Amino acid sequence: MAKHRVTLGRRGVAALVAAGALVIGGATATMIGTGNADVLDALTSGTTTTTVLPDLAPFTKDDVRGAGKAEVSDEYGAPTGGGKAALRLSTPTGSDKVSYYSTEDSGTPLAEWIPTAAYSAYQGAADNPIQFPSLQLIVDYNGPDVAGGYSALTYEPVYNEGASTTPDEWHRYLAGAGKWCSTQVIPGVIDSDHTKCSNDGAKLLSDYVTGSPGIVVQAVEINQGSGNPGLESAVDLISTPSTTYDFELTKPVIIPPITDPPTPTTHPGTPGEHGGGWGNGHGNGNGNGNGNGHCGC
């Protein structure tokens, strides 16, 4: 199997080995791509929920520049179904950046992300009111057996028609059904004139799968900046083909359900002599076939 170094982000310090690795990825939640809250339940059904605590494991820092900062916080609460906290992101200036990635689901084909990739996001403040954190998939479009093929596919709400950018409320973005741009040329999908989302470079994930049938994901990443001055935001419930990541300050306490105590087992008394009925507590019949009490317990 071919192996190559993948650098995440423009100045990412993390290296992922595995050309064959494919990663994947309260207030009212706005459902992008469909319009009702039942979609969130359907999206996460069949997956496990991983609680991400303040140490951020299993996420790893990729690129943090300047005053860029990420921390678990309850400042903005959490989206519906997201507990009490979320991952708080801050980029005070246009040169600040913060990004974290996970490779827990490494090995999943990009096609499996189309029905599953999603995240919830909140904007508390922004110099540019249309900016929100983005979701990224680090991909190998050549597949595991061919060298090269690195690119980062990026989903941003602003480049997806119908995706709300209203501030001060949580939104649920069904990113797998949306459009993604690529940082690199991908033969048959993205040419050199379309490597930016702002230049008509946003394509459906199905377009990438069709153009590069062997495309795999190496990491799922949450990214903010650079070029996002004054953006104060939060993300939560990052969904991949197998996992939904819920950021919390403390591990949830699971209280077992209260059940009724078991019903005591009763035992009948001993039949009386001469065919008497069921006797009293000592099992004594009266000998005439009629017991002198109910079952002896």
Same domain, 41 and 77: yes
Same domain, 154 and 268: no
Query: pLDDT averaged over consecutive 10-residue blocks of the chain (297 residues)?
Result: 34 31 32 36 65 98 96 98 97 97 93 97 97 97 87 96 97 98 94 85 96 95 94 98 96 81 65 42 42 39
Cβ atoms of 72 and 53 closer than 8 Å:
yes
How many structural domains comprise the chain? Answer: 2
- Of 241, 275, 205, 244, the C-alpha closest to 78 is 244
193 occurs within a structural domain: yes
Q: Rounded CA gap, 149 and 6, in Å?
A: 10
Long-range contacts of range 43-48, CB-CB < 8 Å, 24 or more positions apart? Answer: 43/115, 43/116, 43/118, 43/174, 43/239, 44/81, 44/237, 44/239, 44/244, 47/116, 47/239, 47/240, 47/241, 47/242, 47/243, 47/244, 48/242, 48/243, 48/244
pLDDT of residue 46: 58
Same domain, 188 and 281: no
87 occurs within a structural domain: yes
Read off the tokens for 179: 């459009």
pLDDT of residue 69: 97
> Which residue is it, tokens 């001993």?
270
Same domain, 198 and 284: no
Same domain, 178 and 267: no
292 occurs within a structural domain: yes
Same domain, 281 and 219: no
Same domain, 232 and 272: no
Same domain, 149 and 269: no
Q: Which domain holds residue 278?
A: 260-297
pLDDT of residue 87: 98
Contacts of 256 (CB under 8 A, 6+ apart): none
Same domain, 153 and 268: no
218 occurs within a structural domain: yes
Cβ atoms of 3 and 19 closer than 8 Å:
yes
Same domain, 11 and 123: yes
47 occurs within a structural domain: yes
57 occurs within a structural domain: yes
Same domain, 70 and 178: yes
pLDDT of residue 10: 32
- Of 6, 12, 49, 2, the C-alpha closest to 217 is 6
254 occurs within a structural domain: no
Same domain, 61 and 104: yes
266 occurs within a structural domain: yes
- Of 138, 174, 182, the C-alpha closest to 157 is 174
